[in-house]
A and B are shown apart, each in its own frame.
Chain A
Protein backbone atom coordinates (compact mmCIF):
# COMPACT_ATOMS: atom_id res chain seq x y z
CA UNK A 1 0.00 0.00 0.00
CA UNK A 2 1.38 3.41 -0.94
CA UNK A 3 2.23 5.38 2.21
CA UNK A 4 1.49 8.65 0.38
CA UNK A 5 -2.09 7.66 -0.33
CA UNK A 6 -2.54 6.43 3.24
CA UNK A 7 -1.34 9.84 4.51
CA UNK A 8 -3.71 11.65 2.16
CA UNK A 9 -6.68 9.50 3.14
CA UNK A 10 -5.85 9.94 6.83
CA UNK A 11 -5.73 13.72 6.35
CA UNK A 12 -9.09 13.82 4.54
CA UNK A 13 -10.72 11.56 7.15
CA UNK A 14 -9.27 13.62 10.01
CA UNK A 15 -10.46 16.94 8.58
CA UNK A 16 -13.88 15.78 7.38
CA UNK A 17 -14.72 14.09 10.67
CA UNK A 18 -12.74 16.65 12.72
CA UNK A 19 -10.93 13.92 14.64
CA UNK A 20 -8.18 16.27 15.83
CA UNK A 21 -5.29 14.46 17.51
CA UNK A 22 -7.14 11.11 17.23
CA UNK A 23 -6.66 11.36 13.47
CA UNK A 24 -2.87 11.45 13.73
CA UNK A 25 -2.91 8.10 15.54
CA UNK A 26 -4.87 6.28 12.84
CA UNK A 27 -2.90 3.47 11.18
CA UNK A 28 -3.83 1.25 8.24
CA UNK A 29 -5.24 -1.26 10.76
CA UNK A 30 -7.38 1.28 12.62
CA UNK A 31 -11.09 0.40 12.36
CA UNK A 32 -13.34 3.21 11.06
CA UNK A 33 -16.95 2.04 10.72
CA UNK A 34 -18.29 1.11 14.13
CA UNK A 35 -15.23 2.54 15.89
CA UNK A 36 -15.62 6.23 15.09
CA UNK A 37 -18.92 7.61 16.44
CA UNK A 38 -18.55 10.53 13.98
CA UNK A 39 -18.96 8.18 11.02
CA UNK A 40 -22.75 8.20 10.41
CA UNK A 41 -24.47 8.18 7.01
CA UNK A 42 -24.15 11.97 6.61
CA UNK A 43 -20.43 11.69 7.39
CA UNK A 44 -19.94 8.79 4.97
CA UNK A 45 -21.51 10.92 2.22
CA UNK A 46 -19.33 13.92 3.16
CA UNK A 47 -16.27 11.70 3.22
CA UNK A 48 -16.94 10.34 -0.28
CA UNK A 49 -17.26 13.91 -1.60
CA UNK A 50 -14.14 15.08 0.26
CA UNK A 51 -12.10 12.12 -1.07
CA UNK A 52 -13.27 12.81 -4.63
CA UNK A 53 -12.35 16.48 -4.29
CA UNK A 54 -8.96 15.69 -2.79
CA UNK A 55 -7.97 13.03 -5.32
CA UNK A 56 -9.69 14.70 -8.27
CA UNK A 57 -11.66 11.73 -9.61
CA UNK A 58 -15.20 10.41 -9.28
CA UNK A 59 -15.79 7.34 -7.13
CA UNK A 60 -17.90 4.55 -8.63
CA UNK A 61 -20.76 4.38 -6.12
CA UNK A 62 -21.77 0.83 -6.93
CA UNK A 63 -18.35 -0.37 -5.82
CA UNK A 64 -18.70 1.12 -2.33
CA UNK A 65 -19.77 -1.17 0.50
CA UNK A 66 -19.54 -1.15 4.28
CA UNK A 67 -16.25 -3.06 3.87
CA UNK A 68 -14.79 0.00 2.10
CA UNK A 69 -14.94 1.84 5.42
CA UNK A 70 -13.87 -1.07 7.61
CA UNK A 71 -10.34 0.20 8.31
CA UNK A 72 -8.23 3.15 7.16
CA UNK A 73 -6.18 0.66 5.12
CA UNK A 74 -9.31 -0.70 3.40
CA UNK A 75 -10.39 2.83 2.47
CA UNK A 76 -6.88 3.61 1.19
CA UNK A 77 -6.77 0.43 -0.92
CA UNK A 78 -10.21 1.30 -2.33
CA UNK A 79 -9.06 4.82 -3.27
CA UNK A 80 -5.86 3.47 -4.83
CA UNK A 81 -7.92 1.03 -6.94
CA UNK A 82 -10.38 3.77 -7.93
CA UNK A 83 -7.53 6.01 -9.07
CA UNK A 84 -5.92 3.26 -11.18
CA UNK A 85 -8.71 1.19 -12.70
Chain B
Protein backbone atom coordinates (compact mmCIF):
# COMPACT_ATOMS: atom_id res chain seq x y z
CA UNK B 1 0.00 0.00 0.00
CA UNK B 2 2.72 2.42 0.89
CA UNK B 3 4.81 1.62 -2.20
CA UNK B 4 1.76 2.10 -4.41
CA UNK B 5 1.16 5.39 -2.66
CA UNK B 6 4.60 6.67 -3.54
CA UNK B 7 4.23 5.89 -7.28
CA UNK B 8 0.95 7.79 -7.73
CA UNK B 9 -0.38 11.02 -6.12
CA UNK B 10 2.52 11.44 -3.75
CA UNK B 11 1.38 14.16 -1.35
CA UNK B 12 -1.99 12.91 -0.10
CA UNK B 13 -0.94 9.27 0.21
CA UNK B 14 2.11 10.26 2.14
CA UNK B 15 -0.13 12.16 4.52
CA UNK B 16 -2.33 9.07 4.94
CA UNK B 17 0.71 6.98 5.72
CA UNK B 18 1.75 9.49 8.29
CA UNK B 19 -1.73 9.43 9.83
CA UNK B 20 -1.61 5.67 9.75
CA UNK B 21 1.69 5.64 11.61
CA UNK B 22 0.48 8.14 14.12
CA UNK B 23 -3.01 6.92 14.96
CA UNK B 24 -3.16 3.21 14.13
CA UNK B 25 -1.65 2.15 17.46
CA UNK B 26 -4.47 3.94 19.24
CA UNK B 27 -6.96 2.14 17.08
CA UNK B 28 -5.40 -1.22 17.88
CA UNK B 29 -5.58 -0.70 21.61
CA UNK B 30 -9.01 0.90 21.41
CA UNK B 31 -11.02 -2.33 21.81
CA UNK B 32 -9.49 -2.91 25.21
CA UNK B 33 -10.22 0.60 26.39
CA UNK B 34 -13.72 0.59 24.98
CA UNK B 35 -14.47 -2.67 26.77
CA UNK B 36 -12.79 -1.45 29.92
CA UNK B 37 -14.81 1.74 29.73
CA UNK B 38 -18.06 -0.15 29.32
CA UNK B 39 -17.46 -2.93 31.85
CA UNK B 40 -14.88 -1.40 34.19
CA UNK B 41 -14.94 2.35 34.36
CA UNK B 42 -18.65 2.95 33.85
CA UNK B 43 -19.74 0.48 36.56
CA UNK B 44 -17.14 2.02 38.85
CA UNK B 45 -18.52 5.51 38.41
CA UNK B 46 -22.10 4.33 38.44
CA UNK B 47 -21.48 2.46 41.69
CA UNK B 48 -20.31 5.76 43.13
CA UNK B 49 -23.58 7.34 42.02
CA UNK B 50 -25.69 4.51 43.45
CA UNK B 51 -23.82 4.76 46.76
CA UNK B 52 -25.34 8.17 47.40
CA UNK B 53 -28.89 6.91 47.03
CA UNK B 54 -31.34 4.79 48.99
CA UNK B 55 -31.92 2.06 46.48
CA UNK B 56 -33.28 -1.43 47.02
CA UNK B 57 -33.88 -3.91 44.28
CA UNK B 58 -37.48 -4.62 45.06
CA UNK B 59 -38.43 -1.13 46.23
CA UNK B 60 -36.54 0.74 43.52
CA UNK B 61 -34.65 4.03 43.69
CA UNK B 62 -35.90 6.04 46.65
CA UNK B 63 -33.77 9.12 46.01
CA UNK B 64 -30.59 10.93 47.03
CA UNK B 65 -29.39 10.46 50.60
CA UNK B 66 -25.97 12.08 50.42
CA UNK B 67 -23.34 10.31 52.52
CA UNK B 68 -25.86 8.47 54.70
CA UNK B 69 -24.80 5.09 53.40
CA UNK B 70 -21.17 5.86 54.26
CA UNK B 71 -22.09 7.15 57.70
CA UNK B 72 -24.02 3.97 58.38
CA UNK B 73 -21.02 1.98 57.25
CA UNK B 74 -18.79 3.44 59.93
CA UNK B 75 -21.21 2.42 62.64
CA UNK B 76 -21.81 -1.06 61.23
CA UNK B 77 -19.92 -3.50 63.37
CA UNK B 78 -20.43 -6.30 60.86
CA UNK B 79 -18.63 -4.22 58.29
CA UNK B 80 -15.69 -3.78 60.64
CA UNK B 81 -15.76 -7.44 61.50
CA UNK B 82 -15.58 -8.23 57.79
CA UNK B 83 -12.70 -5.76 57.42
CA UNK B 84 -10.85 -7.41 60.28
CA UNK B 85 -11.39 -10.83 58.74
CA UNK B 86 -10.25 -9.68 55.31
CA UNK B 87 -7.04 -8.08 56.56
CA UNK B 88 -6.41 -10.94 58.95
CA UNK B 89 -6.80 -13.52 56.23
CA UNK B 90 -4.55 -11.43 54.02
CA UNK B 91 -1.82 -11.44 56.65
CA UNK B 92 -2.01 -15.12 57.56
CA UNK B 93 -2.56 -16.12 53.95
CA UNK B 94 -0.50 -13.93 51.69
CA UNK B 95 2.76 -13.46 53.59
CA UNK B 96 3.52 -17.17 54.02
CA UNK B 97 2.27 -17.71 50.50
CA UNK B 98 4.78 -15.32 48.94
CA UNK B 99 7.64 -16.53 51.13
CA UNK B 100 6.96 -20.14 50.29
CA UNK B 101 6.63 -19.26 46.62
CA UNK B 102 10.02 -17.57 46.77
CA UNK B 103 11.64 -20.61 48.35
CA UNK B 104 9.95 -22.96 45.92
CA UNK B 105 11.13 -20.88 42.99
CA UNK B 106 14.72 -20.91 44.18
CA UNK B 107 14.62 -24.71 44.45
CA UNK B 108 13.09 -25.07 41.04
CA UNK B 109 15.78 -22.79 39.67
CA UNK B 110 18.41 -25.41 40.50
CA UNK B 111 19.54 -28.07 38.10
CA UNK B 112 17.53 -31.23 38.56
CA UNK B 113 15.79 -34.02 36.73
CA UNK B 114 12.25 -33.56 35.35
CA UNK B 115 12.70 -29.85 35.81
CA UNK B 116 10.11 -28.76 33.24
CA UNK B 117 7.53 -31.25 34.44
CA UNK B 118 8.00 -30.12 38.02
CA UNK B 119 7.83 -26.47 37.06
CA UNK B 120 4.57 -27.06 35.28
CA UNK B 121 3.25 -29.28 38.03
CA UNK B 122 3.25 -26.48 40.57
CA UNK B 123 0.88 -24.53 38.36
CA UNK B 124 -1.70 -27.32 38.32
CA UNK B 125 -3.58 -26.22 41.47
CA UNK B 126 -3.99 -22.82 39.89
CA UNK B 127 -5.75 -24.09 36.81
CA UNK B 128 -8.11 -26.22 38.85
CA UNK B 129 -11.55 -24.66 39.17
CA UNK B 130 -11.74 -22.74 42.44
CA UNK B 131 -15.17 -24.18 43.11
CA UNK B 132 -13.79 -27.71 42.88
CA UNK B 133 -10.95 -26.79 45.24
CA UNK B 134 -13.49 -25.27 47.62
CA UNK B 135 -15.68 -28.35 47.63
CA UNK B 136 -12.80 -30.75 48.21
CA UNK B 137 -11.34 -28.63 51.01
CA UNK B 138 -14.83 -28.31 52.46
CA UNK B 139 -14.83 -32.07 52.87
CA UNK B 140 -11.28 -32.21 54.19
CA UNK B 141 -12.18 -29.67 56.85
CA UNK B 142 -15.58 -31.15 57.72
CA UNK B 143 -16.10 -31.09 61.48
CA UNK B 144 -17.00 -34.62 62.28
CA UNK B 145 -16.10 -36.85 59.43
CA UNK B 146 -13.40 -34.85 57.65
CA UNK B 147 -9.94 -35.93 56.61
CA UNK B 148 -8.18 -33.22 58.65
CA UNK B 149 -9.83 -34.28 61.89
CA UNK B 150 -9.21 -37.91 61.09
CA UNK B 151 -5.52 -37.08 60.75
CA UNK B 152 -5.52 -35.17 64.03
CA UNK B 153 -7.23 -38.10 65.68
CA UNK B 154 -4.46 -40.43 64.50
CA UNK B 155 -1.86 -38.40 66.36
CA UNK B 156 -4.10 -38.14 69.40
CA UNK B 157 -5.38 -34.57 69.05
CA UNK B 158 -9.04 -33.75 69.71
CA UNK B 159 -11.09 -32.97 66.61
CA UNK B 160 -11.43 -29.30 65.71
CA UNK B 161 -14.73 -27.62 64.82
CA UNK B 162 -13.24 -25.81 61.86
CA UNK B 163 -16.06 -23.37 61.27
CA UNK B 164 -16.59 -22.45 64.91
CA UNK B 165 -13.42 -20.46 65.65
CA UNK B 166 -11.58 -17.69 63.96
CA UNK B 167 -8.18 -19.35 64.01
CA UNK B 168 -9.34 -22.70 62.68
CA UNK B 169 -11.46 -21.25 59.87
CA UNK B 170 -8.68 -18.86 58.89
CA UNK B 171 -6.17 -21.69 58.86
CA UNK B 172 -8.39 -23.78 56.62
CA UNK B 173 -9.18 -20.92 54.23
CA UNK B 174 -5.61 -19.72 53.91
CA UNK B 175 -4.55 -23.31 53.23
CA UNK B 176 -7.00 -23.28 50.35
CA UNK B 177 -5.77 -19.93 49.04
CA UNK B 178 -2.13 -20.93 49.37
CA UNK B 179 -2.76 -24.22 47.63
CA UNK B 180 -3.99 -22.34 44.61
CA UNK B 181 -1.56 -19.43 44.47
CA UNK B 182 1.85 -20.59 45.70
CA UNK B 183 2.61 -22.30 42.41
CA UNK B 184 1.49 -19.33 40.36
CA UNK B 185 3.68 -16.91 42.28
CA UNK B 186 6.58 -19.36 42.31
CA UNK B 187 6.47 -19.56 38.54
CA UNK B 188 6.57 -15.79 38.22
CA UNK B 189 9.54 -15.61 40.59
CA UNK B 190 11.25 -18.39 38.67
CA UNK B 191 10.93 -16.49 35.41
CA UNK B 192 12.51 -13.46 37.04
CA UNK B 193 15.31 -15.54 38.59
CA UNK B 194 16.28 -16.99 35.26
CA UNK B 195 17.02 -13.51 33.99
CA UNK B 196 19.73 -13.07 36.64
CA UNK B 197 23.21 -13.53 35.08
CA UNK B 198 24.86 -16.73 36.31
CA UNK B 199 28.26 -15.11 36.70
CA UNK B 200 26.98 -13.12 39.65
CA UNK B 201 26.47 -16.36 41.55
CA UNK B 202 29.81 -17.74 40.34
CA UNK B 203 31.76 -14.78 41.58
CA UNK B 204 29.79 -14.82 44.84
CA UNK B 205 30.69 -18.48 45.29
CA UNK B 206 34.35 -17.74 44.65
CA UNK B 207 34.12 -15.02 47.28
CA UNK B 208 32.79 -17.65 49.67
CA UNK B 209 29.16 -16.55 49.99
CA UNK B 210 26.83 -19.32 51.22
CA UNK B 211 23.77 -20.24 49.12
CA UNK B 212 21.51 -18.61 51.71
CA UNK B 213 23.52 -15.42 51.56
CA UNK B 214 23.46 -15.51 47.77
CA UNK B 215 19.71 -15.93 47.86
CA UNK B 216 19.08 -12.94 50.10
CA UNK B 217 21.79 -10.70 48.70
CA UNK B 218 21.60 -11.48 44.98
CA UNK B 219 18.37 -13.22 44.07
CA UNK B 220 15.88 -11.26 46.15
CA UNK B 221 17.20 -7.75 45.32
CA UNK B 222 17.43 -8.53 41.64
CA UNK B 223 13.87 -9.78 41.33
CA UNK B 224 12.53 -6.87 43.36
CA UNK B 225 10.20 -5.54 40.61
CA UNK B 226 8.65 -8.99 40.31
CA UNK B 227 8.14 -9.23 44.05
CA UNK B 228 6.44 -5.87 44.00
CA UNK B 229 4.18 -7.07 41.21
CA UNK B 230 3.14 -10.18 43.13
CA UNK B 231 2.56 -8.16 46.28
CA UNK B 232 0.20 -5.81 44.45
CA UNK B 233 -1.62 -8.64 42.73
CA UNK B 234 -2.00 -10.66 45.94
CA UNK B 235 -3.15 -7.59 47.82
CA UNK B 236 -5.90 -7.02 45.31
CA UNK B 237 -6.78 -10.72 45.33
CA UNK B 238 -6.64 -10.92 49.13
CA UNK B 239 -8.90 -7.91 49.62
CA UNK B 240 -11.43 -9.47 47.27
CA UNK B 241 -11.32 -12.95 48.77
CA UNK B 242 -14.74 -14.47 48.20
CA UNK B 243 -15.05 -17.90 46.66
CA UNK B 244 -12.83 -19.83 49.05
CA UNK B 245 -14.54 -18.77 52.30
CA UNK B 246 -17.92 -19.10 50.59
CA UNK B 247 -17.24 -22.67 49.47
CA UNK B 248 -15.68 -23.46 52.83
CA UNK B 249 -19.02 -22.56 54.41
CA UNK B 250 -20.96 -24.68 51.91
CA UNK B 251 -22.21 -21.69 49.93
CA UNK B 252 -23.47 -19.68 52.92
CA UNK B 253 -22.57 -16.01 52.91
CA UNK B 254 -22.60 -15.49 56.67
CA UNK B 255 -19.07 -16.84 57.18
CA UNK B 256 -19.74 -18.83 60.33
CA UNK B 257 -22.59 -18.33 62.76
CA UNK B 258 -20.91 -15.22 64.21
CA UNK B 259 -19.20 -14.09 61.00
CA UNK B 260 -15.81 -15.52 62.03
CA UNK B 261 -14.68 -15.71 58.43
CA UNK B 262 -17.05 -13.41 56.58
CA UNK B 263 -14.84 -11.35 54.28
CA UNK B 264 -15.72 -7.90 53.05
CA UNK B 265 -16.70 -9.21 49.60
CA UNK B 266 -19.03 -11.73 51.19
CA UNK B 267 -20.60 -9.01 53.30
CA UNK B 268 -21.05 -6.74 50.30
CA UNK B 269 -22.66 -9.52 48.34
CA UNK B 270 -24.89 -10.46 51.25
CA UNK B 271 -26.10 -6.92 51.77
CA UNK B 272 -26.56 -6.23 48.06
CA UNK B 273 -28.11 -9.41 46.80
CA UNK B 274 -29.31 -11.49 49.72
CA UNK B 275 -30.45 -9.48 52.73
CA UNK B 276 -32.84 -6.75 51.68
CA UNK B 277 -31.03 -6.27 48.36
CA UNK B 278 -29.73 -2.86 49.41
CA UNK B 279 -27.97 -1.55 46.34
CA UNK B 280 -27.07 1.84 47.78
CA UNK B 281 -25.45 0.43 50.88
CA UNK B 282 -23.66 -2.27 48.92
CA UNK B 283 -22.35 0.33 46.50
CA UNK B 284 -21.05 2.47 49.36
CA UNK B 285 -19.18 -0.55 50.72
CA UNK B 286 -17.80 -1.39 47.29
CA UNK B 287 -16.40 2.10 46.95
CA UNK B 288 -14.91 2.02 50.40
CA UNK B 289 -13.30 -1.29 49.54
CA UNK B 290 -11.96 0.15 46.30
CA UNK B 291 -10.31 3.05 48.10
CA UNK B 292 -8.92 0.76 50.78
CA UNK B 293 -7.41 -1.57 48.20
CA UNK B 294 -5.65 1.35 46.53
CA UNK B 295 -4.35 2.62 49.86
CA UNK B 296 -3.30 -0.77 51.08
CA UNK B 297 -1.64 -1.74 47.81
CA UNK B 298 0.23 1.58 47.88
CA UNK B 299 1.41 1.00 51.44
CA UNK B 300 2.52 -2.55 50.64
CA UNK B 301 4.32 -1.32 47.57
CA UNK B 302 6.20 1.28 49.57
CA UNK B 303 7.03 -1.08 52.41
CA UNK B 304 8.28 -3.90 50.24
CA UNK B 305 10.30 -1.58 48.06
CA UNK B 306 12.00 -0.08 51.05
CA UNK B 307 12.74 -3.40 52.73
CA UNK B 308 14.02 -5.03 49.57
CA UNK B 309 16.21 -2.03 48.82
CA UNK B 310 17.43 -2.18 52.38
CA UNK B 311 18.70 -5.71 51.92
CA UNK B 312 21.00 -4.72 49.06
CA UNK B 313 23.00 -2.19 51.04
Q: Do A and B bind each other?
A: no
Chain B residues close to A by CB (< 8 Å): none
Chain A residues close to B by CB (< 8 Å): none
